[in-house]
Amino acid sequence: MSDDARRARLHEEARRILTANHRHGVSPWEGRAYDYTCPSPHSYPFQWFWDSCFHAIALTHLDLRRAKAELRSLLQGAQPDGFLPHIIFWERDRYRQVMEEQTLRLATPYLSASIQPPVIAQAVERVYRASGDEAFLAEALPTVRAFFAWLRDHRDPDGDGLIAIVQPDESGVDASPKYDALLDYPRDNDDLVRAINALYARYAPLGNDDARLIAEDAFVVEDVLVNSIYAQGLQSLARLCSDPAQAIGYRAQAQRVLDALVEKCYDPQRGLFLDLIGADERRAEVNTISALFPLIVEGLDRSITDRLVHDHLDNPAEYALPYPVPSVAADEPTFNPEDPHGFIWRGPSWVNSNWFLTHALHAHGYPAQAARIAQATRAMVDAQGFRECYNPHTGEGQNARDFSWTTLVIDLPV
């Protein structure tokens, strides 16, 4: 099959999935109109934060009205202090059942109490550039800026520029083995759920007070993936703000985050980035996909990008598997390429991380690597359908089906 025919087929399949997973209506609380795409009808019926940002970006190729509506619905979750939740429970029919199956901390019966990586600035920028809709930008920007201010004010208590997460699902890479040391080294999903329940029990008396949660120091991670997306978002905000003083401020803040990533998280011996754990900032030594994520930030020094790309991404012992990019380096003892059954982000390849990395490789001038990952991504999605993740050795699809953010396959740069 020609590459053009494959691209056309993926485009049509993306349209089918984003149509099938479209949800709209009026909420039974406060009568708010919603219009979003659920990640997957069976496993994930609600509106998830970074998923919706990815859906909006894919929708820029298919339906600009829906791309804007998706982000508008998401921004309706904003709280007066600027916080944006990682889930909005618009869909009420499935609420009870999913709450029984999943371990979640809630702010209200309609909103979760956690964050997810702040892809929102980049998503607003992409939708604005595709639509040229100034009214949309004017409406969205204040809420996005307030969220970035919230992150700075509530999640950076040591003032080093890096924000902290306080529970694993705030990173979007929930069960990554890089958190194992903090969660009693889970051997399977049941172990992990037990450890997370124990963490939430410790948090329960503290309410949703971020300062107290961080002071408890039970799960505080200055996460490289989250902070790379944070820096990238600040660079988006600098481009979106027409006020020059605001733009300069965001550029300086983004640089500060990037400098802190390099100074505190970069291991020059191994040539990769490692998360900082706890108030004393111990390095998490596990080599996972987040070790490569600073590639997505503009301005990362070439001597570092070369190490990330040549020593790790191109290395068949770590990340250069037939269907890249595995979520954990293949030579880690915890690497598990098999169907995760809930114990996710421990080996399989995901289309959202491939999307981030192919755009980054393209921007930093590594065209061969960008093309290799993009082609393998298209091949596995075309062969196996739009699944949640894929076996990096065989390309076999795993976990949820008709998974909405896998439609990012139509937005790869090459």
Question: For binding to ligand GLC (CB under 6 A), which residues are involved?
Answer: 39, 44, 48, 50-51, 172, 174, 344
CB of 131 to ligand GLC, least distance (A): 25
CB of 344 to ligand GLC, least distance (A): 6
Of 50 and 90, nearer to ligand GLC (C-beta) is 50
* Rounded (10°) CA dihedral 196, 210, 206, 108: -80
Of 153 and 338, nearer to ligand GLC (C-beta) is 338
The structure tokens 């040229």 sit at: 132
CB of 356 to ligand GLC, least distance (A): 13
Token readout for 107 is 């702010």
Query: Is 362 in contact with 371 (CB distance < 8 Å)?
Result: no
Of 167 and 287, nearer to ligand GLC (C-beta) is 167
Nearest-CB residue for ligand GLC: 39
Query: Is 121 in contact with 233 (CB distance < 8 Å)?
Result: yes
Query: Is 75 in contact with 130 (CB distance < 8 Å)?
Result: no
CB of 345 to ligand GLC, least distance (A): 6
Of 39 and 233, nearer to ligand GLC (C-beta) is 39
Helix (H, G, I), strand (E, B) or coil at 280: coil
CB of 147 to ligand GLC, least distance (A): 17
CB of 170 to ligand GLC, least distance (A): 10
Token readout for 75 is 């921004």
First to last CA, the chain: 18
Query: Is 290 in contact with 274 (CB distance < 8 Å)?
Result: no
Contacts of 105 (CB under 8 A, 6+ apart): 112, 113, 114, 167, 200, 203, 208
Query: Is 10 in contact with 378 (CB distance < 8 Å)?
Result: yes
Axis crossing angle, helix 244-260 with helix 224-240, rounded to the nearest 10: 160
CB of 110 to ligand GLC, least distance (A): 17
Of 48 and 355, nearer to ligand GLC (C-beta) is 48
Can you say whether residue 7 is alpha, beta or left, with left for phi > 0 and alpha for psi between -120 and 50 degrees?
Answer: alpha
Measuring CA to CA, which residue among 351, 352, 317 is closest to residue 335?
A: 317
Of 50 and 335, nearer to ligand GLC (C-beta) is 50
> For the residues of 298-367, what is the DSSP string, one character each?
TT--HHHHHIIIIIIIT-TTTT--SS--BSB-TTSTT---S--TT--SSS-B-HHHHHHHHHHHHHHT-H
CB of 169 to ligand GLC, least distance (A): 6
Of 45 and 294, nearer to ligand GLC (C-beta) is 45
Of 237 and 344, nearer to ligand GLC (C-beta) is 344
Query: Is 224 in contact with 290 (CB distance < 8 Å)?
Result: yes
Of 307 and 346, nearer to ligand GLC (C-beta) is 346
CB of 352 to ligand GLC, least distance (A): 8
Which H/E stretch holds residue 276? strand 276-277
